[in-house]
Amino acid sequence: MSASEETVFFNVGRLRLEGRLWLASGPWAAVISHPHPLYGGELDNPVVAVLAGAYQRLGYSTLRFNFRGVGASAGDYDDGRGERDDVRAAAAFLEAAGKTVTDLAGYSFGAWINLRLDPLPAGVRRLLLVAPPVAYLEFDGMVAPSSVALRVVAGDRDSFAPLDVLREQLPRWQPAAGLHVLPGADHFFHGGASDRLAALVETLLTVPAGR
């Protein structure tokens, strides 16, 4: 946790979820979702931290949080159903803090959850999907609204998000979606790939969402 992030708790129904909040002076904000809860995914995952840092450096408020049943978040894993409500509750928490949630960023399972949201929170203008696990989870039938910029990042050595499958499925998610490949990176962005991921994400976020 960075020195400027604060541990917070917010409610989704009767459950209380744990998060790390960073408030910027500007109006924009991003919610960042972590990998699969049943396989060690949690808010302090290194890739989740990289995504939070990229947004923070560009002046976005960020909230990365633990899905239900993870860490200090109450409840149990819900096979992707309740987890969608968790993302909406995180966005509502930021909105209550006076921020406009323009971005939903998700890594692996978190990318799957974000693409499944229907409808999206009202202010969202961009979905950033990092290493969506198309070889592991079912993505058929998912569609991103044309009003939202869909950006997908994956490594060319990622067996969970193979590029051939991504290139086949991406136009179904949204014809205007962009695929950005990180050479030499696996699903976990080992071996220094996390630094290159940070640089790539900052480049993708340079143009403000919705412009």
The domain that holds 201 is classified in CATH as: 3.40.50.1820
Residue 210 reports pLDDT greater than 60:
no
* Residue 47 dihedral angles phi and psi, to the nearest 5°: -70, -40
**Cβ-based neighbours of 186, under 8 Å, separated by 6 or more:** 155, 157, 158, 159, 193
Residue 2 reports pLDDT greater than 80:
no
Question: What pLDDT was estimated at residue 211?
Answer: 40
Question: What pLDDT was estimated at residue 207?
Answer: 64
Residue 210 resides in a domain: no
What is the number of domains present in the chain? 1
Q: Which two three-digit tokens encode residue 137? A: 């989870």
- Which residue type is seen at 89? A
3 state DSSP class of 87: helix
Tens-place pLDDT, residues 60-110:
999 999 999 999 999 999 999 999 999 999 999 999 999 999 999 999 999
Residue 44 sits in which domain range? 6-205
3 state DSSP class of 139: coil
Residue 116 resides in a domain: yes
Tens-place pLDDT, residues 151-202:
999 999 999 999 999 999 999 999 999 999 999 999 999 999 999 999 999 9
